[in-house]
A and B are shown apart, each in its own frame.
Chain A
Amino acid sequence: MSAYWECLRGIVLREWLRFVLQRSRFLSALVRPLLWLLVFAAGFRAALGIAIIEPYDTYITYDTYIVPGLACMILLFNGMQGSLAMVYDREMGSMRVLLTSPLPRAFLLAAKLLATALISLLQVYAFLAIAWVYGVQPPAWGLLAALPALLLVALLLSALGLLLSNGIRQLENFAGVMNFVIFPMFFLSSALYPLWKMRESSEWLYWLCAANPFTHAVELVRNALYLRLHVEALLICAGLTVLLTLLAVASFNPQHAALRKAG
């Protein structure tokens, strides 16, 4: 058992060291949501207040509404960047070092997912700290209650990233992931607008957003931040995390990429 623990510790430590060394990665992960919060949301703040909806007890400003979605946006981008890193590692050979470990491959991949997720959490809390200073202040205990929710969402999105990376033939194909996964997942969710607002404009848009797993991820985090448990969102996120992780691990095979290239 201690061999597994040492291995997990080593993988997490390496991700941490890489994170510390790549300050630009940290900053760029923060700049994106901060631009949305400080520019986009500030502009909408005057025009758009949000009526009383769950989990809020009162009317809220738009920037308060948007913060949980932006926290999940960090996790979404990091999960996909993690998948990009997997493709890069596969091409550059460093994935080979991981795979020469005698420990089971499924464990190694799960450890890698967890390490990516933990590093993502640091970025989310840095963002929440800035948002706090800016004036978006959920209950202090909410910040703690959101931790498991954020971890679950980070794992969900990392597993999705790994699954996608298994299907990516080479690094250049990653632009497609940006256009066809990240943007639709983010915009077709409750991250920027509540679902009832979507419904006002279009019924089919509402259903698309309601079916989007990212909507459930955002709602899980939003509720946790305000000390509520959204059971439906929790079940969907937990179920999808297990399913996607199993699929990602089962379909992980560097040989497939080599065979596809040769073909």
Chain B
Amino acid sequence: MNALEVSGVGFAYGARQALNDLAFALAPGRFAALLGPNGAGKSTLIALLTRLFELQQGDIQIFGHSLAREPRQALRQLGVVFQQSTLDLDLSVQQNLAYHAALHGMPRRQAQARIDEELLRQDLAERRHDKVRTLNGGHRRRVEIARALLHQPRLLLLDEASAGLDPASRQALGRHVRNLCREQGLSVLWTTHLLDEIEPADELLILHRGERVASGKAVEFGDLATSFARLTGDEALGRGHVREAIRPNLDTQARRSGFSREHPAEEQQP
């Protein structure tokens, strides 16, 4: 069973198509990066994954539970760190976490035990009574990760989680999440538009104009910057040609990686 399975997902804002027949699957326990320039459709995909938007086309399954048909079971498996901080700045770290635990219906004693555990793991135990407003950007992100993990989800979704952080904090955050993935078998989907956040061992999915243009192990892309520019720089390099030229090669990579293609036969059509 896949941690995340996106099948034939399409979404349009009126006449503008934001996602077009998007399909991919993420195997359990993998760290996967969803890379795409601004406007690629990442935010729309996140909105669909978190049920902020309703599916117009296709299906999304989280550990076998369809978001459309079994939203409660699916959401139980999902922890989310949003691009824009959603912490209440005037409340303390403890209060923010307790609120989240309550939203998940956790009994108070169990919630407190989980809060203690996560704060310890995030090295934030001593800041628990501090107001979030007094924390720096890196610490706020760690609070958000602690919050996202409180209800012990199996899939963690991080939407441009490094936005607004300095380079050192960004690196530390990336390391931290990859450690969680390795140590706890957590499945992670990390969206970003920054190439330097990708590590060679990461699974990689490149999204452009609402479509998946490539997927595979990052290391297999060679010089990622060049590949990314070719895949997403249609205007400069000739609309669509480069993408089509590179696709068969990337398809092979995708099959070998944890990011499986949903409809390989269809996509191998010229």
Asked if B2 is at the interface (CB within 8 A of a chain A CB), the reply is no
The number of chain A residues with a CB under 8 A from chain B is: 34
- Checking A10, A93, A104 against B99 with a beta-carbon cut-off of 8 angstroms, the contacting residue is A10
| Interface presence of B193 (CB below 8 A) | no
Whether B103 pairs with A253 at a CB distance below 8 angstroms is no
**B residues 43-83 in Cβ contact with A at 8 Å:** 47, 50-54, 71-73, 75-76, 78, 80, 82
A4 sits at the interface (CB 8 A): yes
B146 touches A (CB below 8 Å): no
Whether the pair B75, A255 counts as a contact (CB closer than 8 A) is: no
A18 and B88 within 8 A (CB): yes
Q: A4-B105, A262-B16 are in contact. Are A94 and B99 (CB under 8 A)?
A: no
B54 touches A253 (CB 8 A): yes
Bound complex: CA A6 to CA B112 (Å): 13
- How many whole Å from B129's CB to the nearest CB in chain A? 13
- Evaluate contact between B52 and A99: CB separation under 8 angstroms: yes
CB closest chain-A residue, reference B144: A97
Closest B residue, CB atoms, query A22: B90
Contact B82 A99 (CB under 8 A): no
Asked if A100 meets B75 with Cβ closer than 8 Å, knowing A2-B107, A18-B88, A21-B90, the reply is yes
Residues of A within 8 A of B47 (CB): 255, 258
For the complex, is B84 an interface residue (Cβ under 8 Å from A)?
yes
Residues facing A in B87-126 (CB within 8 A) are 88, 90-91, 95, 98-108, 111
Instruction: Flag A195-236 by CB within 8 Å of B: 1 or 0 each.
Output: 000000000000000000000000000000000000000000
Q: In the complex, how many angstroms separate the beta carbon of B270 from the nearest chain A beta carbon? A: 33
Interface residues on B, range: 35 or more
Q: Collect the chain B residues with CB atoms within 8 Å of residue A4's CB.
A: 105
Given the contacts A92-B84, A97-B100, A6 and B51 also touching, CB distance less than 8 Å: no
Residue pair B14, A259 in contact (C-beta under 8 Å): yes
Q: Which residues of A contact B107 (CB under 8 A)?
A: 2, 6
B82 — which chain A residues lie within 8 A by C-beta?
A: 93, 96-97
Would you call A99 and B105 a contact (CB within 8 A)?
no
Which residues of B lie under 8 Å from residue A3 when comparing CB positions?
104-106
Q: Once the chains bind, are B14 and A10 in contact (CB under 8 Å)?
A: no
Residues in A with CB closer than 8 Å to B76 are 102
| Contact residues, A235-263 vs B (CB, 8 A) | 253-255, 258-259, 262-263
Closest-CB distance, B220 to chain A (whole angstroms): 34
> Given that A93-B82, A102-B76, A253-B54 are known contacts, is A262 also in contact with B102, CB under 8 Å in the complex?
no
- Find out whether the CB atom of B102 lies under 8 angstroms from the CB atom of A13: yes
Q: For the complex, is A28 an interface residue (Cβ under 8 Å from B)?
A: no
Q: How distant is A174 from chain B, measured CB to nearest CB, in Å?
A: 20
Q: A10-B103, A99-B50 are in contact. List 12 more A-B contacts (CB 8 A).
A: A7-B103, A7-B104, A10-B102, A11-B103, A13-B98, A14-B91, A18-B90, A93-B82, A96-B86, A97-B82, A100-B103, A102-B71
19 A-B residue pairs with CB within 8 Å: A2-B107, A7-B102, A7-B104, A10-B101, A10-B103, A21-B91, A93-B84, A93-B86, A97-B86, A99-B50, A101-B75, A102-B105, A103-B72, A103-B103, A103-B104, A108-B103, A254-B53, A255-B47, A255-B54
